[in-house]
Amino acid sequence: MKTCLKLIILITTTSFVSCHTDKNIVFHDTFDDDRNNWNLKKDYYDFTVNISDGKLNIEKLTRNRIKNGCLWLNKTINNFSTAKDFSIIFSAKILSYDDVFKGIDFQWGTINLPNQKSKLHQINLGACGEIFLDYFEKGWTHVYRKSLSSKIKSNIIIDGVEYSNQPYPVKINKYNKYEIAQVGDSCFVYINNIHVYSAKINVVEGNSIGIQQCLKNSWKIDYLTIKQKK
């Protein structure tokens, strides 16, 4: 059964990747400048968002229990629809973390747009091997939570998490390549080209990507690419 499931995942994702060539890029940013008009913030409440040395730098300065608040950085992408198959690829490096969840998050869907209700998915990528997918519509719902074997050990055992012996392929203190692929009603996550996660999802309408950033950490994005068959 597991072999059949792996084969289905391989066939599905291989087919997806093969049709998403460079000609299907709908958004690309190497952060050499702010030509894509990110909502940059300097010493804004408890957050810093800036572009320097070809990187998008994101930081929350204080633990959430001390100073509550979330960044909710988001961007609307023309010619992109989260209701269709897509691939979001970015290279990121976690510089520091100091909160209940030690990692980063990434969102897609309808996010904080005027006169529209937010409806989105959020993938949380932890430094200790956690991969948590959540869904937001009026409130948060946990979709599927998985934790891989990591060199960075966590002593926290969380209910509802599937613990796996699969090695977590994140390289510590280095840039790692993350890919979030939506194929039909499934979400797949790859880290450094290794498949680490898959789950069934409710596909949502929208054309936004975003970062919630509620917890204290600091990280950099080297590049961001979105592919979708035209």
pLDDT of res. 65: 78
Identify residue 70 by its one-letter amino acid code: C
Q: What is the pTM of this model?
A: 0.87
Q: What is the rounded distance in angstroms from the CA atom of residue 100 to the CA atom of residue 76?
A: 30
The C-alpha torsion from 196 through 200 and 203 to 206, rounded to 10°, is -20
Q: Which CATH architecture has domain 2-227?
A: Sandwich (2.60)
Number of Cβ within 10 Å of residue 154's Cβ equals 15
- In this structure, are residues 173 and 83 in contact, taking their beta carbons and an 8 Å threshold? no
Using one digit for the tens of pLDDT, what is the confidence trace for 58-102? 998 888 778 888 888 999 999 999 999 999 999 999 888 776 667
Average pLDDT over residues 172-199: 96
Q: Which residue in 189, 71, 186, 64 sits closest to 126, CA to CA?
A: 189
Which run of H or E residues covers position 4?
A: helix 2-18
Give the residue extent of every domain in the chain. 2-227
Q: What is the rounded distance in angstroms from the CA atom of residue 170 to the CA atom of residue 162?
A: 18
Q: What is the rounded distance in angstroms from the CA atom of residue 40 to the CA atom of residue 70?
A: 15
DSSP reduced 3-state for 13: helix
